[in-house]
Amino acid sequence: DAKTTQPPSMDCAEGRAANLPCNHSTISGNEYVYWYRQIHSQGPQYIIHGLKNNETNEMASLIITEDRKSSTLILPHATLRDTAVYYCIVMEYGNKLVFGAGTILRVKS
């Protein structure tokens, strides 16, 4: 069973930042937070992951709260091509990825 809770859908204006929340209140100390996204009819694409500290890469930023019970994925300047289902997954090192329902992000012009 998925260990995370995400809103079913969100809208974002093109060029604006998209902030996708995720609750993982039962996360344990050695579990990582992973974010993937799936564009229609494609395989999931890795975005970012983190354990405790905030992380940033060329695609996004990941903000993890101090108690690690929630996190936010930030796409700084959303484009139409960022429209996808975004999955927040809590995973222990080496374990299987369990996908929940995710958040459908619609970027609109």
Partner 1 sequence: GAVVSQHPSRVICKSGTSVKIECRSLDFQATTMFWYRQFPKQSLMLMATSNEGSKATYEQGVEKDKFLINHASLTLSTLTVTSAHPEDSSFYICSAIPLLAGVQETQYFGPGTRLLVL
Interface residue with partner 1 among 1, 8, 58, 93 (CB under 8 A) is 93
Q: Give the nearest distance from C-beta 77 to partner 1 in angstroms.
A: 24
Q: Is 15 left (phi over 0), alpha (psi -120 to 50) or beta?
A: left
- Gap between the Cα atoms of 17 and 79, Å rounded: 9
The binder of partner 1 chosen from 1, 8, 29, 43 (CB under 8 A): 43
Residue type, 13: A
Assign 80 to helix, strand or coil: helix
Pick from 5, 7, 44, 55: which binds partner 1 (CB under 8 A)?
44
Q: In angstroms, how far is CA 104 from the centroid of its own chain?
A: 11
Beta carbon of residue 52, minimum distance to partner 1 (angstroms, whole number) = 12
Residues in contact with partner 1 by the rule CB under 8 A: 32, 34, 36, 38, 41-46, 49, 51, 87, 93-94, 96-102
